[in-house]
Amino acid sequence: MLLVLFLIISSFFSQSQKIEGNWQGTLAAGSQKLKLVFHVKIDSVHSLYATFDSPDQGAFGISCSETNIKGDSLEMLIKVINGGYRGKWDGGNSLSGYYFQNGMHFPMDLIRVDSTILLIKPQTPKPPFPYNSEELEYDNLATGIHYSATLTYPKSGEPFPAAILITGSGQEDRDETIFGHKPFAVIADYLARRGYAVLRVDDRGIGKSTGNISNATSQDFAGDVETGLLELQKRKDIDHKKIGLIGHSEGGLIAPMIASKNNNIDFIILLAGPGVKGTDLLALQSEAIARVSGLSEKNAGALKILNKLIFQAVLNSRDSNSRYQDAWDAYLYWKKNTDTAVISSLGITDEVYQSIMKSELKKLNSPWMIYFLQTDPAAYLTKLNCKVLALNGSKDIQVVADPNLAGIDSALKKSHVKIYSTRKLPGLNHLFQHCKTCTVAEYGELEESFAPEALQIMGEWLDKNVK
């Protein structure tokens, strides 16, 4: 028995040594293609473990909950995404198998690679800097949240006009790091060189900031920004009459939320900020993403209608217990009133829909989602009296430029704002990059982090209207 056990252990260790390495494949889900990388390793006690990267989505170092090798088969389970990979190993540099998530399976082969190469992001600022960069720590005593931030400001010329950068949806660090890009570091660097102080903050629960986001909404995040505003107002080197907010995506909703009730805000800059209600914004988003993914106008339009019906059903539900049934009823209504050829070409079946809804129901039930779906930016934009600049890229598929800029413009005409401008910038995506395919997956493939012309427009507008 001891000899057999020794042989089994020796065999496993030998296999583990051979399969150790970086394994890369391409996941094809519909018309979307994502690069996936598994890093198979052996720990100090000769146990096999793995981590998982999705570079195109900006996700790195996700731990696999289980890594098992049985004969010529490798299994890597990723509990946090309810998925993983299973494949047969040829004993060399290839694995043949499939990726799975939420009950769905996608054929995918892996090949051994020496390393994974990330594109260089040349705009990321590097020291030495011709301005001061100060690390700040401060607290909200009412909520008990501790914040960590960076304040950049010129070496002379105080008091300085200042801006607080507000990140988009999801937990972001102070640089709004995404797909290897650090757009907020780029913006802060540019504005500090032009004579402005810029505060950028780790979101609650990220980096060195504390706090829980499980029940947080945009209103709570607005409170986080207001805490930063109070911190700036304590400083003698900041011009308290010239403090503003620069918000990207959801941050472009939070900025007017704050400024609509705070007369101390001198200006706001909305970068791809919402101008229509949440249900409309997300429905438009689904249509735009479908189009750049290669779907026909008819099919993309059908998806937009389906998503609008689902979001509205979720919003109108009595409580969380009834949302699944209400969303199911919305789907059945769409199915009944949609061309069967369109449904077939989209590959939507009752089973597929139920699987997707079960995996997404928790997200749809979240306080953040319910708040976002019911929020109309016009309710805040019409109450503004500060200066406003709204920018959006013509190729943005997350906050579609035309309807959102039109919504912002319409609301500002009803406000007390005397100085405002809305501009659509040609060829730029949601991150204000010059894009080619203009898909979400392309964000990480591009070297550019933030278009120079967008930076220049912000700088010149601030020089003219604030500085």
Looking at residue 1, its pLDDT comes to 32
- The pLDDT tens digits of the residues spanning 220-275 come to 999 999 999 999 999 999 999 999 999 999 999 999 999 999 999 999 999 999 99
Which DSSP string do the residues of 360-421 spell out, in sequence order? HHHHHTSHHHHHHHH--THHHHTT--SEEEEEEETT-SSS-HHHHHHHHHHHHHTSS-SSEE
Q: How confident is the model at residue 162 (pLDDT cuts 50, 70, 90)?
A: very high
For domain 19-113, say whether CATH 2.40.128.120 is its number: yes
Looking at residue 2, its pLDDT comes to 37
CB of 110 within 8 A of CB of 85?
yes
Residue 45 has pLDDT above 80, yes or no: no
Mean pLDDT of 413-439: 96
Residue 44 has pLDDT above 60, yes or no: no
Q: For residue 394, count CB atoms less than 10 angstroms from its CB and return exposed for 0-12, middle for 13-18, buried for 19 or more.
A: middle
pLDDT-above-90 percentage for the chain: 65
Mean pLDDT of 196-211: 94
Q: Indicate the pTM of the whole model.
A: 0.79
Residue 349 has pLDDT above 80, yes or no: yes
Looking at residue 97, its pLDDT comes to 93
| Domain boundary assignment for the chain | 19-113, 131-277+375-465, 278-372
- The pLDDT tens digits of the residues spanning 447-464 come to 999 999 999 999 999 999
CA distance 275 to 260: 15
Looking at residue 43, its pLDDT comes to 64
Residue 345 carries which side chain, given as an amino acid letter? Answer: S
Looking at residue 261, its pLDDT comes to 96
- The pLDDT tens digits of the residues spanning 180-192 come to 799 999 999 999 9
Q: Which of 152, 187, 104, 15 is nearest to 354 (CA)?
A: 104
- The pLDDT tens digits of the residues spanning 367-407 come to 999 999 999 999 999 999 999 999 999 999 999 999 999 99
For the record, the structure tokens of 432 come out as 């204000």
Which DSSP string do the residues of 264-280 spell out, in sequence order? TEEEEEEES---S-HHH
Beta bridge partners of 78: 83
Looking at residue 402, its pLDDT comes to 98
Higher per-residue confidence, 15 vs 70: 70
- The pLDDT tens digits of the residues spanning 302-318 come to 999 999 999 999 889 88
Q: How confident is the model at residue 142 (pLDDT cuts 50, 70, 90)?
A: very high
Q: Which of 458, 467, 464 is nearest to 165 (CA)?
A: 458
CA distance 176 to 254: 15
Higher per-residue confidence, 252 vs 351: 252
H or E segment to which residue 229 belongs: helix 218-233
Q: Which of 117, 118, 27 is nearest to 78 (CA)?
A: 27
CA distance 380 to 253: 9
CB of 285 within 8 A of CB of 318?
no
Cis ω for the linkage preceding 128 (within 30 of 0): yes
Looking at residue 17, its pLDDT comes to 47
Mean pLDDT of 429-455: 93
CA atoms within 13 A on the CB side of 431: 27
Supply the mean pLDDT for the chain: 89
Mean pLDDT of 14-21: 62
Mean pLDDT of 41-49: 70
For domain 131-277+375-465, say whether CATH 3.40.50.1820 is its number: yes
Residue 30 has pLDDT above 80, yes or no: no
Looking at residue 46, its pLDDT comes to 60
Q: Token match 């401008």: residue? A: 421
Looking at residue 115, its pLDDT comes to 59
Dihedral sign (CA 369, 373, 377, 380): negative
Lowest mean pLDDT among 18-27, 324-333, 400-409: 18-27
Enumerate long-range contacts of 431-437, CB under 8 Å, 24 or more apart.
431/178, 431/181, 431/183, 432/183, 432/271, 432/272, 432/391, 432/393, 435/395, 437/292
